[in-house]
Structure 1
């Protein structure tokens, strides 16, 4: 296949309104039960199933392989709309879309086509990369090993977001025989995989971000993928999902505060109008929240453009252009993170200034917007991202494409 032939089969974008119209009725159904799921901590198994059956997990798959051929900015625009319905769902699907993106970047061939067929059939991925406890930074305890003529996976992962809903899990592991870092694509429907919904965070409670345990879980040889081949802009991609989630949270906060103000009958004697909806100060608060939500969404979609360029450059045969696009993807996703986190945290806190003390009622669950935003914003520490951007701006230092977390060697001294 020539570069031109391969390029013509890439996911370069589609009619966004036509694409989004397929899913908006599902997003509306998802939104209807969001507050109740929040109050009861009910995992959205049914809602994930709706999305799978509608082909949501295949929107990035090229059209010629049965997908929608959406660009990355279009994917993240869709995730903003989904997050406005329930912010837990984009995060639960984060690992899925990252694995899809990796396969989109894989060389053309039979194995890639097999994955495309699975995505189009509705099969989804979860994520299991993080190890907690006594693991030093840079170490990987989870091992994939040859045993009795096959490969098996053993280890324990936390923060395995979305895995409890998924058909497969994208597991970061180490080969026991060579010591090489790999991705093991593991089917969940087997005795060697056990999952727990033990995520105890105060926000994003129904993302399925608990523990996954692997005990001689079978992995097919072709599904042990060398980590060095992973798509270059993966860290930017993961962060862009968080940006879309945050933007959707702000949009949901705007929608709910406007609705509650419009229907409010009680007023304060210190107010400025006979109804809250006519009070110019209350209008100002809601207007500022609206502007913050608008800016967050605009930044999130704009920040995805370099990642799309990096994807296209992967097949363009110009290494310099590909490197430049990957740098831009890292820097712009980090710039967006620093700004969006502040915008959305302010919006989700300020909404209470437009309402009375009754807005603190657990029945309304308006606090979920701030809790969810605060939880998402804790991923990938802002201070380090701001420093990386500053180092690039001042010194031209290339940003890191992969980073890890783990125990410090200094802690044992």
Structure 2
């Protein structure tokens, strides 16, 4: 469903089951190869190509432009389903959907229409935000130089999640002439762009996160966007993608533990039944995991609601309504992060309580659920999110909408 305000249709939602059924066969195909990709660290180039061809990257684009018109909540429900199949792919698409959201929040223009057309065609956007090395907090070494239509990007980024699969890259940079922070959108296939799959984390190993180098990459003037124009609920949106990753991992845990228990033949002499599937204590473990996953998914989707309100309010005439929605988006996603991380990490550990030693088989790769969940949950420190929520409830302190990481004044 879309709502038209002058020349600005908004994506307010569609029939979810119809939308999801477009992609569920692809999700099943993706799921079938996840364990093998995990064991061999094979990047999901083919699987992401399937999603591109099916129009997955354009589900938030208004129907008038050829997209699906999905709401933010429907997008994240889809991402949870995809994360159950392969959580790495959802994280690899994190920057893409954030850039789509940014363009949805941009004023109507020919440039915005061109981006919508690119998304519908299947173009994906990667990420280049984090500076590499001992960069001081707040410093931006990646620079845009030149003037007019002769602009060049130079720099190096790490945690370049999804860029290795992308057609474009959303790069956080600084103009050398004015010192202002900007978003530079570069052609990912330009010869001056080099990607390395050198991410060395123990989880989420096939997200394409690694180092990207930009060497005199040309930029059209319209692809250099002042950072101050970035959509206001961006931090909440990025966090919500990680929550969808966690909720999807939880669904995979629930699926795998039920299957393992159902198929298990061997029993312990001091167990409670002649088959593991009939053992009341094992049933309790599986039931507890299912309840935790249910709560995690519910919290994730509930925290998506204020983001949709903020998106709609962006084009309203009430600044206070928009500000309140943006605050709610930050606070609710922070609350969800604290509890969802705990629920899914617990579920990914407790699944082994229902299995014997065979459950730790490398061939089954059940440990990937905890490793992937722990990695996703480590991106934004839980303790800071809990503090921000507490400060809001106690003192009414407005949450930060943007934050950075870098070397502090003490240890490098």
TM-score normalised by length of structure 2 = 0.98
C-alpha separation in 1, matches of 2:7 and 2:291: 38
Offset from partner CA, 1:86-118 (integer Å, 9 cap, x none): 000110000000000000000001110000000
Q: Secondary structure at the match of 2:11?
A: coil
Q: Counterparts in 2 of 1:159-170, with a 5 A limit?
A: 159-170=159-170
The equivalent of 1:182 in structure 2 is 182
1:247 aligns with 2:263: no
Distance change >3 Å, CA 143–CA 290, structure 1 → 2: same
The question of whether the paired residues in 1 share the 8 Å contact of 2:234 and 2:401 is answered with yes
Offset from partner CA, 1:206-253 (integer Å, 9 cap, x none): 000010000001111100000000000000000000001000000000
5+ residue gaps, structure 2: none
| Structure 1 residue 410: Cα displacement | 2.4
The equivalent of 2:350 in structure 1 is 350
The equivalent of 1:116 in structure 2 is 116
The question of whether the paired residues in 2 share the 8 Å contact of 1:6 and 1:315 is answered with no
RMSD of aligned C-alpha atoms?
1.2
| Structure 1 residue 150: Cα displacement | 1.2
C-alpha separation in 2, matches of 1:7 and 1:388: 38
C-alpha separation in 2, matches of 1:288 and 1:361: 23
C-alpha separation in 1, matches of 2:158 and 2:289: 35
The equivalent of 1:278 in structure 2 is 278
| Structure 1 residue 189: Cα displacement | 1.1
Q: Secondary structure at the match of 1:411?
A: coil
Offset from partner CA, 1:333-357 (integer Å, 9 cap, x none): 0000000000000000000000110
The question of whether the paired residues in 2 share the 8 Å contact of 1:261 and 1:354 is answered with yes
| Structure 1 residue 73: Cα displacement | 0.5
Q: Counterparts in 2 of 1:94-105, with a 5 A limit?
A: 94-105=94-105
Q: Counterparts in 2 of 1:29-108, with a 5 A limit?
A: 29-108=29-108
The equivalent of 2:293 in structure 1 is 293
The question of whether the paired residues in 2 share the 8 Å contact of 1:232 and 1:326 is answered with yes
C-alpha separation in 1, matches of 2:134 and 2:348: 36
C-alpha separation in 2, matches of 1:8 and 1:110: 12
| Structure 1 residue 148: Cα displacement | 9.4
Q: Counterparts in 2 of 1:109-258, with a 5 A limit?
A: 109-146=109-146, 150-258=150-258
| Structure 1 residue 9: Cα displacement | 1.2
Q: Secondary structure at the match of 1:304?
A: helix
C-alpha separation in 2, matches of 1:131 and 1:8: 35
The question of whether the paired residues in 2 share the 8 Å contact of 1:153 and 1:214 is answered with yes
C-alpha separation in 1, matches of 2:252 and 2:8: 37
The equivalent of 1:316 in structure 2 is 316
1:12 aligns with 2:12: yes
C-alpha separation in 1, matches of 2:164 and 2:214: 13
Q: Secondary structure at the match of 1:299?
A: helix
5+ residue gaps, structure 1: none
1:26 aligns with 2:26: yes
Q: Counterparts in 2 of 1:316-335, with a 5 A limit?
A: 316-335=316-335
C-alpha separation in 2, matches of 1:186 and 1:275: 58
1:384 aligns with 2:375: no
| Structure 1 residue 4: Cα displacement | 6.2
The question of whether the paired residues in 2 share the 8 Å contact of 1:338 and 1:385 is answered with yes
C-alpha separation in 2, matches of 1:345 and 1:191: 41
TM-score normalised by length of structure 1 = 0.98
Moved over 6 A (4+): none
The question of whether the paired residues in 1 share the 8 Å contact of 2:154 and 2:214 is answered with yes
C-alpha separation in 1, matches of 2:145 and 2:9: 36
1:394 aligns with 2:394: yes
Distance change >3 Å, CA 222–CA 341, structure 1 → 2: same
| Structure 1 residue 132: Cα displacement | 2.3
The equivalent of 1:365 in structure 2 is 365
| Structure 1 residue 411: Cα displacement | 2.6
Q: Secondary structure at the match of 1:384?
A: helix
Offset from partner CA, 1:380-406 (integer Å, 9 cap, x none): 100000000000000000000000000
The question of whether the paired residues in 2 share the 8 Å contact of 1:7 and 1:315 is answered with no
C-alpha separation in 2, matches of 1:6 and 1:272: 67
| Structure 1 residue 409: Cα displacement | 1.8
Q: Secondary structure at the match of 1:362?
A: coil
Distance change >3 Å, CA 359–CA 6, structure 1 → 2: farther
C-alpha separation in 2, matches of 1:221 and 1:102: 18
